Chains A and B, each alone.
Chain A
Amino acid sequence: NSKVIQTPRYLVKGQGQKAKMRCIPEKGHPVVFWYQQNKNNEFKFLINFQNQEVLQQIDMTEKRFSAECPSNSPCSLEIQSSEAGDSALYLCASSGDWGSQNTLYFGAGTRLSVL
């Protein structure tokens, strides 16, 4: 069973509001990924980290989305001004050294509904 912990499980926001979700990666895993899964089962990569450093992020993420993985604190993903199209399941995953292509283990996700 995955030991990646995501909170909250459900998040309901109005358009324009901030939405923040957190992720505690599995102990010892330096790599964290964030994905968005929409209702059509499409996965969109958002951002990934190795330790506290951003490895890659998509353009969308750079504008309204912000994320961080501070040392000794949960990782977080925040949407500054939520839009209806942001409603989705946000999945956090962690891995050992990604360069060795270790397995990505996913958390239970945060389901965001933007009304």
Chain B
Amino acid sequence: GEKVEQHESTLSVREGDSAVINCTYTDTASSYFPWYKQEAGKSLHFVIDIRSNVDRKQSQRLIVLLDKKAKRFSLHITATQPEDSAIYFCAAGNYAQGLTFGLGTRVSVFP
């Protein structure tokens, strides 16, 4: 089955700088790559996704990149703000296999 590795377990960034979280996956059949944010004691909140028919997507301060050859995708949080502090999870999958999640990256934004 699919395996998703989330490379950074923690990330500390100065407010205003960019944060980058990298994930790799194993199954070439995966075609859908969402990102979720989880704040302490709360559930997963959808932030952005990318599908395999594109290699870049942007939503406000969030950019996701997908490199299908390398089986790698990344989340870029630009101009970070204190409210960006949370655990971010990447996931990969498709209709047949559902979603497989990474172990999360704890992002801390400091002043």
Contact = CB atoms under 8 A, between A and B. Distances in A.
Interface of A: 2, 33, 35, 40-43, 45, 48, 56, 91, 93, 98-99, 101, 103-109
Contacts of A48: 98
A56 B99 CA distance: 12
A2 B34 contact: no
Contacts, number: 46
Task: Name the 5 nearest CB pairs between A and B, nearest first.
Answer: A43-B101, A106-B44, A101-B32, A108-B43, A41-B104
Contacts of A91: 43-44
Interface string B75-111: 0000000000001010000110011110110000000
Contacts of A101: 31-32, 51, 94-95
Nearest to A44: B101
Contacts of B99: 33, 45, 104
A107 B104 CA distance: 18
Contacts of B34: 103-104
A53 to B, nearest CB: 14
A107 B45 CA distance: 9
A98 B95 contact: yes
